[in-house]
Amino acid sequence: MKISELLVEQQATDEGLGRNIAGAALAGAMALGGAGAKASNAPQDYQNDPINAIVQQKETEKLNAIDRAKLQDILKLMQADKDAEVAQQPKSQPMSPAAQADPTKNLNPGAARPDFTVPGAVKPNVKLPARPITKPAAPTAYKPITGKPAETALHNFAVKVGLKGNELAAFMGQSAHESDGFKTAEEYASGEAYEGRKDLGNIYKGDGKKYKGRGFIQITGRANYTAAGKALGLDLVNHPELAEKPVNAAKVTWWYWKNRVRPNIGNFDNTKAVTKKIQGGSGGLKSREKYTQSFKLAQK
């Protein structure tokens, strides 16, 4: 018998019990006769009412007898249903070491691999449209204005040390003029004109020629060679020709710009002021302005 059938039977039994109790109450009332009718008009003592006592006794006896049996049957059926449900579930088998190492690995060759796909997610075998691969734009190669490798080397060095904008244009423009369009890192003149120039540190005979202009801005004088050599770790005092090599020429030029020019210039658009800190006057101003403007346009 199913649980639902037992519950239906229990309901029918309860209804029958109610009818029997009602009949017994009616019979008791008839036996009392007029006394019962008279008593109905008076306040009723519920606890001393014989009909109520009969009803309560019958309810208790009947329910105790029926409820215990029915509840035991219901519990047995519920346990049987639970046992049957457990028996239908597949029995788990102990996992092998290989399965423990890789739980997704199917140990049964004849069965399909378990699907670990999240509900609603796209399965691996679904081909999605390929995304276009956007490569970062390659940096534009520097195109030298003069076409000389020395210009490219100095420009790259200047950018590396942080020069940009108008200052970079002024730095390159002045260097281009001083080096004759990056054709040389050594002054064309002999340097005789610097002989005995104590303001340049030339205190010994021959210092003028020995320490003539070198580098792209072409530093001159014993004092500049001594200071630059000490700062750059180069023996420029005994070997001033080291300043002519492209790598050293870029370093010497940057050293002079950082220490002699930059601290004294507030506006690098003022080519005349920049020229004065390099040349001491305004010699070659037109050429310097032209080069500086060309390097400004090259940055756009």
Give the three-state DSSP class for 272: helix
- CA dist 246 and 155 (Å) reads 12
Query: Which residue shows structure tokens 């730095």?
Result: 171
Question: Is 178 annotated in the active site?
Answer: yes
* Per annotation, catalytic residue among 5, 15, 61, 178: 178
State the DSSP string of 178-195.
HTTTTT-SB-SS-SGGGT
Q: Residues with Cβ < 8 Å from 229, sequence gap 6 or more?
A: 235, 236, 237
Q: Residues with Cβ < 8 Å from 143, sequence gap 6 or more?
A: 298
Nearest Cα neighbor of 252 from 169, 184, 185 is 185
Q: Residues with Cβ < 8 Å from 197, sequence gap 6 or more?
A: 208, 221
CA pseudo-torsion sign 210, 215, 221, 223 = negative
* Buried b or exposed e, range 50-64, using 16+ CB within 10 angstroms: ebeeebeeeeeebee
AA identity, residue 137: A
- CA dist 207 and 225 (Å) reads 11
* Joined tokens for residue 213: 């202009």
Cα of first residue to Cα of last residue in the chain, in angstroms, is: 95
What residues are labeled active site? 178
